[in-house]
Amino acid sequence: MIGRYLDLSTAHLGAREMHDAAHQLHGSGPRVIAHEHGLWVHVSQEPAEAFEGETVHLRESFPHLLAALRLARVLGSDVFWINFDADGERHEQLPVYEW
């Protein structure tokens, strides 16, 4: 199976959320892979109820990451990853933080 990924700017997370996602989510949230210019974040393909259950802990500490994950799910069931990249696209439905 070949899937798509969503390319987003790291500015959608902000510096602290970006750092915390890279260092704190391992094993307690979506799979995160740090790279030189940002992060790859896995998009769950679970049904909506299961997805919302999995993300309860993200609401408080990672609200912007959760918003991006929800956006990816709306864009299609074949979006398996989000690439947060310093040169990534800025999406009009997500907030932007200059850092």
Domain span at residue 15 reads 4-85
What are the tens digits of pLDDT across the range 12-39? Answer: 998 999 999 998 876 667 889 999 999 9
| pTM of the entire predicted model | 0.88
Question: With 80 as the cut, is the pLDDT of residue 64 above it?
Answer: yes
3 — pLDDT class (breaks 50, 70, 90) = confident
Q: Is residue 8 part of a domain?
A: yes
In a domain, 73, yes or no: yes
Give the burial string for 33-67 (b: 16+ CB within 10 Å, else e): eeeeebbbbebbeeeeeebeeebeebeebbebbbb
Residues 6+ apart with CB under 8 A from 24: 61
The per-residue pLDDT for 93 is 95
pLDDT number for residue 23: 87
Note the pLDDT of residue 26.
66
